Amino acid sequence: MSRKPVHLAVYDTYADWETGHATAYLARAGYEIRTAGPSREPVTSIGGLRVQPACALDDVRPSGSSLLILPGADLWDAGDDLAPFARKAREFLDAGVPVAAICGATVGLAREGLLDDREHTSAISFYLAATGYGGGERYVDADAVTDRGLITAGPTEPVAFAREIFQLLGVYDGEVLDAWYRLFHDSDAEAYAVLEKAQASG
């Protein structure tokens, strides 16, 4: 089955560990992962990885994408350099295409007003409250939250973040999704057999 690509936003200081589970297993499920930067100039992650974006953010269209993933980055807290990525998230959501934001990217979405009317989570409630956003009553103290096409998670929950993405896109569901989460989050060796069986029959 042909699938539209998943777009992974990349920018200087992006947190390279926050999206690895999601992108690796999306790729295994047949999704092309396309990196989108502020331009096509190389960017450098917090971990020092130098990445050449496949495309510039301005060239990304919701109609050509399955999902936009926004990782955290020091730059989300340092000013408005990444505001165009939050505006792109609005464009995606308005078009009915999902967005997944983790860690500092949730602050960008709060400033953009995208969390005012959706349940969401982040690192901690007062991290978002400092933006002055209007969605404080909708903050949920959970590992990851999905509401109307928007996934949010805190910086310590890359596995839960991936779980929500897989469920939303239909990559895994039911006991297979639960087993994937238990294996990578809880190191539950018994979950491996469930995944192995599912892959053999898939």
The token pair that represents 49 in the structure block: 């990885």
Give the global pTM: 0.97
**CA 178, chain centre distance (Å):** 19
pLDDT by residue, tens only, the chain of 202 residues: 469 999 999 999 999 999 999 999 999 999 999 999 999 999 999 999 999 999 999 999 999 999 999 999 999 999 999 999 999 999 999 999 999 999 999 999 999 999 999 999 999 999 999 999 999 999 999 999 999 999 999 999 999 999 999 999 999 999 999 999 999 999 999 999 999 988 787 6
CA–CA separation, 157 and 123 (whole Å): 9
Which candidate in 93, 103, 159, 165 is catalytic? Answer: 103
Mean pLDDT of the chain, nearest integer: 96
Alpha helix locations (H) across the chain?
Answer: 20-28, 83-94, 105-112, 125-129, 158-169, 174-186, 190-201
- 55 is an active site residue: no
φ and ψ of 109, to 5 deg:
-70, -35
Q: Counting Cβ atoms within 10 Å, is residue 113 exposed (0-12), middle (13-18) or buried (19+)?
A: middle
Q: Which of 10, 15, 9 is nearest to 103 (CA)?
A: 15
